[in-house]
Amino acid sequence: MAEHPHAALVRKGYEAFQRGDMDTLRSLMTGDCTHHVPGSHPLSGDYKGIDAVLGDYYGRLAAETGGSFRVELLHVFVDGRGHAMTVHRFTADRGDRHIDENGGIVFRIVGDKISDLDECVEDMDRADAFWS
């Protein structure tokens, strides 16, 4: 059975993210997409627009971790109505700190592009401590 197109889209996004391929990510997202980052640390908040998502957030993830930020996609779930949900594991080093955490993202898909990403983490306090 073929993979649902929304699952394939999200999987392609994770693969591009891992490679640092911002051009492919740009092609998968709407121009006005928003990435919502939970927590109360300096990277928390809403990144509105493709340039903010790719540059201000994803660029900062790489910069703050010296390029060590990695994410492993574990599961993709779809509802067939424009939503996909992932479960992933992420790791990173920042100074003398290390994080190895489960997380996920709820994606909203309009047409064949990602329009909204709501990020979730397993342990908010641990994420806040790592990024603060």
Say how many CA atoms lie within 13 Å of 29 toward its Cβ. Answer: 26
For position 98, what pLDDT does the model report?
Answer: 97
CATH, residue 79: 3.10.450.50
One digit per residue, pLDDT tens: the chain, 132 residues?
Answer: 689 999 999 999 999 999 999 999 999 999 999 999 999 999 999 999 999 999 999 999 999 999 999 999 999 999 999 999 999 999 999 999 999 999 999 999 998 999 999 999 999 999 999 999
Q: What is the pTM of this model?
A: 0.94
Q: DSSP strand E in the chain: where?
A: 29-37, 45-48, 70-78, 83-94, 97-110, 113-121
Tally Cβ neighbours within 10 Å of residue 66: 11
Q: How many structural domains comprise the chain?
A: 1
For position 10, what pLDDT does the model report?
Answer: 98
For residue 52, give its domain range.
5-131
For position 21, what pLDDT does the model report?
Answer: 96
For position 2, what pLDDT does the model report?
Answer: 83
Query: 78 and 105 in contact (C-beta within 8 Å)?
Result: no
